[in-house]
Structure 1
Amino acid sequence: MPLDSNEPGIRALFRYRPETAHPLILLSEVLLCGESTLTRGERELIAAYVSARNKCRFCFYTHAAFAAVRAPEGMSLVEQVCEDLDTAPVPEKLRALLRIAGTVQEDARQVTSEQVDAARAAGATDVEVHDTVLIAAAFCMYNRYVDGLATFTPEDPAVYMARAEMSDGYVAVNGTPERLAS
């Protein structure tokens, strides 16, 4: 069921139901932009990876761009991670966390203690494991929300890159800070 909106992706849905947008934007802000020992780029990469696996073009393009502007390797790194995580040039800790995120995307009940132990052995904290699982779970929901309502998805990657370069966070991008603060 497509919505009658020219706005892309989740932004159309947020305009359609602002009362549901508020908590979802705040969740994204905390998970992707809040204080963390994982960098913003790493967290955006987790979101992009899950979105790619879910084949959600809007969320993948958006979060791939946010990750790419924060990585010296740019979009090349995002593409390598999504094509072959085992050979992608990422630190072992991030690879282990991405494996957990991939398992959450497939079936969260299949996350194993071995995966968590491998992440810990690579230097991940319990909070980083927690946040990885929550980012992956949240993006499975966001992906289904965006695709389930057949939102408009621009095909030009430059649209997403321009937005990623101008944004520090989701509250400022998706809503007016004054409105969301109340």
Structure 2
Amino acid sequence: MAHIDLGVDEKEFPGITGPMRFRPETAKPLNELAEVLLRGPHSLTPGERELIAAYVSGGNECGFCCASHSAFAAAQLDGGMPLVDQVRADADAAPISAKLRALLRIAGVVRVDGRSVTPELIAAARAEGATDLEIHDTVLIAAAFCMYNRYVDGLGTLQPEDPQRYVESAHRIVEYGYTASIG
């Protein structure tokens, strides 16, 4: 049970969906940010950007966000959930591009302390072909997901245990995006 009365059935609106229903005026910009960062036109695929969100959420131990964005990434990456699981377990050994690996290293550092991002990490990402936009958005995705993770966990929202719930959400996000229901 959430720490506050969200005014919704938590089984129907688990995780971040309950708080977003509780405060639709804050849900709108939060969803718009997710839409731009994770689905907007970009040189990184939506699956790669969702993978960054899942990686950060896993590191933050936010079960709902990690499960959600892992499913969203899996639905959009050729390697599916096995690839997502490999990346989350050991990004250095996972079969991903060197550029994405370098960006995940940056995201992992931002997750802990953004001030710890070093010129060497940035240079390493650039050496693997990362653009300034990709580096910028990786940092912003990591920072935003620290916020989203703390929002979900700070309110103690329900996390569905059935993995199928996340797969169903993934189909909706892939087809309609984050802003479809905010009008």
Cα separation, 2, equivalents of 1:115 and 1:146:
29
Residue 102 (structure 2) aligns with: 96
Residue 53 (structure 2) aligns with: 47
Which one has a larger percent helix, Structure 1 or Structure 2?
A: 1
Residue 87 (structure 1) aligns with: 93
- Deviation of the 1:2 alpha carbon: 4.4
5 Å matches for 1:54-133? 54-133=60-139
- In 2, are the aligned partners of 1:38 and 1:128 still within 8 Å (CA)? yes
Q: State the one-letter code of the partner of 1:145.
A: Y
Share of identical aligned residues, percent? 59
Residue 171 (structure 1) aligns with: 179
The farther-off stretch of 163-172 and 63-72 is 163-172
- In 2, are the aligned partners of 1:3 and 1:149 still within 8 Å (CA)? no
Residue 44 (structure 2) aligns with: 38
- In 2, are the aligned partners of 1:50 and 1:136 still within 8 Å (CA)? yes
Deviations 1:38-92 (A, max 9, x none): 0000000000000000000110011000100111211011111111111011100
The list of structure 1 runs, each at least 4 consecutive aligned residues, that deviate by more than 6 angstroms after superposition, is none
Residue 136 (structure 1) aligns with: 142
- Deviation of the 1:166 alpha carbon: 3.0
- In 2, are the aligned partners of 1:3 and 1:150 still within 8 Å (CA)? no
- Deviation of the 1:162 alpha carbon: 1.5
- In 2, are the aligned partners of 1:3 and 1:151 still within 8 Å (CA)? no
Q: TM-score normalized by structure 2?
A: 0.93
